[in-house]
Amino acid sequence: MNNDYKLNGRWDAAAFFEELTATNRLAQTEGFIFCRVSGLEGFEEAVNSMQSATAVVCVSDIADGYTDLNNTPRTRRVKTVFFAMRHSAEDMEARSECMEIMRELFRQFASRLILEKVKLEQNCIYLDPRISFNEIDRYFFSGAAGAYFQIAVDCYTDLRLNPDEWS
């Protein structure tokens, strides 16, 4: 994996998951394509993509987070990655198969995250080892199963007062 997605102490989750989607055999076999969204509300792009694709991996370009002002100032950003797969509407067996595929894809992505975690720590970027995986009940949207997981990323934040920033 190249290092183009790392910039100035920040981790580009979208670029990382785009590359995983493009290089993972299960994602390729199942026809997953990558797209960026702005939260669950901004999922129109993914819905449009699913007119021609059967499955998507989407990374939200927004993140929840906070800055911790304690001894070692850091900023936490929580990134959300969505999976969605189309299936025949009202076919619960097909939906169940889609959910199994997404669970396995998550497992395979997590196996790469373990390696990524070690690399990032060398740049003072820390992935929270606990990653929540959530399945969306019923239909994500008509005829599609959905799931998402969230990754918390902590980066050192330089909070030293710089007089040049103030008048």
Domains in the chain: ranges and CATH: 6-156 (3.30.2000)
**Residue 166: pLDDT band with limits 50, 70, 90:** very high
User: What's the pLDDT at 50?
Assistant: 61
Contact assessment for residue 110 and residue 20, using Cβ atoms and an 8 Å cutoff: no
Which of 1-5, 54-58, 124-128, 162-166 has the lowest average pLDDT? 1-5
CA 126 to centroid of chain Cα atoms? 15
Average pLDDT, rounded, for the chain: 84
**Residue 74: pLDDT band with limits 50, 70, 90:** confident
Comparing C-alpha atoms, which of 140, 156, 114 is closest to residue 56? Answer: 140
Q: Is 18 helix (H, G, I), strand (E, B) or coil?
A: helix
- How does DSSP classify residue 158? -
| Model pLDDT for residues 31-51, shown as the tens digit of each residue | 999 998 876 666 666 666 666
| Model pLDDT for residues 9-18, shown as the tens digit of each residue | 678 899 999 9
* 99 pLDDT more than 60: yes
Task: State pTM to two decimals.
Answer: 0.82
Which of 15-24, 111-120, 151-160 has the lowest average pLDDT? 151-160
- Percent pLDDT > 70 in the chain is 84
